[in-house]
A and B are shown apart, each in its own frame.
Chain A
């Protein structure tokens, strides 16, 4: 590549503006169709082939699964529709920039760092899922999630190529991420549906009237496999509602919804929830039961999809992993850019892609994803509560908003204290009540943070005068 070509590409990438530190202008907002595709594809991921089987392995009953997913997904949709999307449309700012204005650069850097690492690990996990499916087709050795070292050079090359493709799309910004999702989304749900339907006869369902009996006796039997805890309605309902805590009540999806033309576009999440987290989880549960019946005790996403739809199922795992990894790496780039605001997002995303490729080469690192997600839910919930109070409540109570922005970036100790108090209290409650599910604590964490932050800000304003500077935004 000549120097001129390299400079030209660099200039073109520099010119991509994703409005990381300013409101999205009215000319750049997107219509409902774009959101439906983007949100639906984000929740039809390779992980659906992991989560659906979890309910089977943890011994949930059929009614636990159906009712739990129904209620949980409605609550998740409402969280996006009533909290995340309206706030994003009102401010049109990224969560990170908004948080920086409230809490100050130092504090937001910590949150940005945690968010960036979490998103990067998630993108790496998706690459591992996709690469595992491709390995199955090519007959290559696939390392298990418990294996720390790569299974060979071919695995490293495979994940590096996959992450490179993900990175190129993420670098291009929301337009290309949205375009890729729009192409893939109409096809993927049919693969999940078809896999579930076509596999039912293997489990003894020969007419739809057989389904409920087989569902209770063969698929979701109510008996966990050895070494697994028992899941009931509450586990499934809370999991369906709060597995995306960081995105809805934690407001991370303001990145996407700040481009929404109307505030009600949050309802687009209904598509993602009921296709990805209802139909797909049920279908992958059916496939897991078929895999168990076939003697595969710990099926991988590729194996599960392969049982249901052969090569097309495996292609679906690869694409599903990819469509989830794209916006995830895009978010990671934005998060870390919050720490280095003068560096272009594309350069940061490229470095994060490199880190994701490195992590994906060592599957043992990304196998801790579930713990990481649960911790992140606990860390993200207070942030969402703080921003919601600032945007909707503070002006009505005559409390100062954007504290740090009005004081030349001074650290907002009330945010730091709220964060520490709510996370610590939640963890103590979790231990005290001997809960077996970290996600149970996200909602209490949100409300504890709201109460603590309101109290601390009120207390501070009683001692200090309000310092309002006319906002440039």
Chain B
């Protein structure tokens, strides 16, 4: 598949976006990062997800 590497990059970005959304809350809960840093991670995660997911998440031929 010609666009296979692009899909891999897009999917990686999307999953990283979800990780950036979910994990920092636990780090903040345990005092490893501040609440402000947690909020920044959340925004970055949201942008990563919404800028990459639309290109692969609705496609039938998902990898």
Contacts and interface: CB of A to CB of B under 8 A. Distances in A.
Interface string A165-204: 0000000000000010011001100110111011011000
Interface in B1-56: 17-18, 21-22, 24-26, 28-29, 31, 35, 38-39, 42-43, 45-46, 49-50, 53-54
A193 B49 CA distance: 17
A71 interface: no
Given A183-B54, A186-B57, A191-B21, A197 B42 contact: no
Given A183-B57, A310-B43, A312-B39, A190 B18 contact: yes
Contacts of A128: none
Contact of B25 (A197, A315, A316): A197
A59 interface: no
Contact of A198 (B17, B18, B29): B29
A117 interface: no
Interface residues of B, number: 23
A119 B26 CA distance: 38
A194 B35 contact: no
Given A193-B22, A194-B24, A198-B28, A313 B42 contact: yes
B21 A187 contact: yes
Given A200-B29, A201-B29, A187 B24 contact: no
Binding site of A, secondary structure by majority: helix, strand, loop or mixed? Answer: helix
A129 interface: no
Given A186-B18, A198-B29, A200-B29, A191 B57 contact: no
A197 B39 contact: no
Nearest to B22: A190
Interface of B: 17-18, 21-22, 24-26, 28-29, 31, 35, 38-39, 42-43, 45-46, 49-50, 53-54, 57-58
Interface of A: 179, 182-183, 186-187, 190-191, 193-195, 197-198, 200-201, 309-313, 315-316
26 contacts: A182-B57, A183-B50, A186-B18, A186-B57, A187-B21, A187-B49, A190-B18, A190-B22, A190-B45, A191-B46, A193-B22, A194-B42, A195-B25, A197-B25, A197-B26, A198-B24, A198-B28, A198-B29, A198-B38, A201-B31, A310-B43, A311-B39, A312-B39, A312-B43, A312-B46, A313-B42
